[in-house]
Amino acid sequence: RDAQESRGLGDVYKRQTSPIDQLSPTRQVVVGVQYLFVAFGATVLVPLLVGLDPSAALFSAGIGTLIFHLVTKGKVPIFLGSSFAFIAPIVSATELYGLSGALLGIAGVAFVYFVMSALIKLFGTKFINRLFPEVVIGPVIMLIGLSLSSSAVKMAEENWPLAAISLATAIVVTLYGRGLIKLIPIFCGIIVGYLVDLIFFDIDFSGIEAAGWFSLPQLTFPEKFSWAPIIYMIPVAIAPVIEHIGDIYVVNSVTGKNFVKDPGLHRTMLGDGLACLVASFLGGPPVTTYSEVTGAMSLTKVTAPRVLRISAVTAIVFSMIGKVSAFLKSIDTAILGGIMLLLFGTIAGAGINNLLNSRVNLSSSRNIVIISVTLTTGIGGAVLSMGRFTLGGIGLSAIIAVLLNLILPETEADRRPKEQ
């Protein structure tokens, strides 16, 4: 049914989409760079927040996107960028295992994608709905946003006026922006905040002056193998995996094609997993499908996978321009904090929206128990320790949500909203 709905919605876009053959090579490059511009702000924000090189993130995004297109036979118009879902887990894993250990842990995320790819190939997607219904996914998504709210405030309070201006810009663009501008509130907030910082405060340009025009990304490789960070990161992949499935259906509707069947959801999942694995060994954050770029495609009507590959190559080129990386590192912490105040709240709101739109019965005692325990253990910082192994944060809460959903008896009344 979902595939039929995707094809039906896609017919509207399909009639309006510009065939790639009608675009000149110059136009293809322009659109490809434009798509990267849409994803740029969010892609470089993640490494800046977790202590990684933004150039490494751009490099990983470009390489990961090309890997994804190779695995999916070049049929799916997707761009992969740094995922916000992994900010809190990477920060926590870095505190426990060091930055090298956190990067190794990303391999655990890739493992989840590989397992899901195999299961989807064998059984289809029905089992996912059993393991990860909306009553599980909703609170987990909320935790992704809420778990770092204190960090956002601490960063913003270093310069509240600067943070407020960045935040206000992002809000105005979100509410009143038009066209492609509406898709890049983070980028706009950073640019305006940077200009205000330049005029009224102080920016250290020494790093930019010292940086060369050509410079390879600062790649950070895992130093030694350990199962602990890998196991720590595995539960964190639950929400991105479900988000990936939703993104593919959205791309279906935008393009008028059914990528769930051809090349297959198992291939798109495998492509995401391989991209995450490569990112972990290149010193970049995990990369996943970017719905912002999908939104840009719906506006431009250019959905050719070749254009997204141009975006990927452009990201790789940008990652090798030393001045770009130095500029990104010169952004004031308060600017990032202001953006985070909106960003993390928006993610939490998306979790609430997930519960409401999926019509989860919030009058059900069973559902309230699952949501409540998931949120309190996550926000409260519950940690499970066994010897040298430690599991906490979003990962532990996600496992608790899945187990409660499987263990607690469910009635027909729990599955549908209470009648008014």
**Between the CA of residue 13 and those of 5, 79, 153, 245, what are the distances in Å?**
13, 19, 41, 20
Average pLDDT over every residue of 169-183: 83
Residue-level pLDDT at 419: 53
Residue 275: the pLDDT is: 93
- 58-63 average pLDDT score: 91
Average pLDDT over residues 17-39: 70
- CB proximity list for 263: less than 8 A, separation 6 or greater: 72, 73, 75, 76
> Which tens digits make up the pLDDT trace of 100-143?
888 888 888 899 899 989 988 888 877 777 877 888 878 887 88
Give the model's confidence band at 154: pLDDT under 50 very low, under 70 low, under 90 confident, else very high. Answer: confident
414 vs 76, higher pLDDT = 76
Average pLDDT of the residues in 345-356: 80
Using the structure block, give the residue that is written with the tokens 């790639």. 20
Distance CA 94, CA 100 (A): 8
Give the model's pLDDT for residue 395. 74
Question: Which of left, alpha, beta for 76 (phi over 0: left; psi -120 to 50: alpha)?
Answer: beta
Return mean pLDDT, the chain: 81
pLDDT band at 389 (very low <50, low <70, confident <90, very high): low
Going by pLDDT thresholds of 50, 70 and 90, the confidence category of residue 9 is very low
Confidence of residue 418 (pLDDT cuts 50, 70, 90): low
HSE value, Cβ hemisphere, 13 Å, CA-based, for 413? 7
The DSSP secondary structure of 130-182, one letter per residue, reads: HHS-HHHHHHHHHHHHHTTHHHHHHHHTTSHHHHHHHHHHHHHHHHH--GGGG
Span 320-337, pLDDT tens digits = 888 877 887 888 889 888
